[in-house]
A and B are shown apart, each in its own frame.
Chain A
Amino acid sequence: MAEPFRSFVSKVVPLPAENVDTDQIVPARYLKVTDKEGLADALFRDWRFGEDGSRKNPAFVLDRPGMAGRRILLVGDNFGTGSSREHAPWALRAWGIEAILSTSFADIFRSNALKNGVLPIAVDPATHAALFELVARDPDAELRLDLAEQGVLLPDGSTIDFEVDPFAKMMLLAGTDEIGYVLAREAEIAAWEAAHPPRVDTRLGTPLAAG
Chain B
Amino acid sequence: MGLEAGLPIAGQPVEVVFIGSCTNSRISDLRLAASVLKGNRAADGVRLMIVPGSQQVKRQAEREGLHDIFRAAGAEWRESGCSMCIAMNGDQLSPGQYAISTSNRNFEGRQGKGGRTFLASPLTAAASAISGVVTDPRTIPGVSELVTVGGGY
Contact = CB atoms under 8 A, between A and B. Distances in A.
Interface residues of A, number: 11
Contacts of A24: 107-109
B113 A82 contact: no
Nearest to B110: A23
Contacts of A29: 87
A127 interface: no
Nearest to B87: A28
Interface string A164-178: 000000000000000
A21 interface: yes
Mostly, the B contact residues are: loop
Interface string B79-119: 00000001110000000000000000101111001000000
A21 B87 contact: no
A46 B14 CA distance: 24
B113 A46 contact: yes
A21 B107 contact: yes
A82 B107 contact: yes
Interface string A182-202: 000000000000000000000
Interface string B102-144: 0001011110010000000000000000000000000000000
Given A27-B113, A46-B113, A83 B86 contact: yes
Interface of B: 86-88, 105, 107-110, 113
Given A21-B108, A23-B107, 18 more contacts: A21-B107, A23-B105, A23-B108, A23-B109, A24-B107, A24-B109, A27-B109, A28-B87, A28-B88, A29-B87, A31-B88, A46-B108, A46-B109, A46-B113, A51-B113, A82-B105, A82-B107, A83-B105
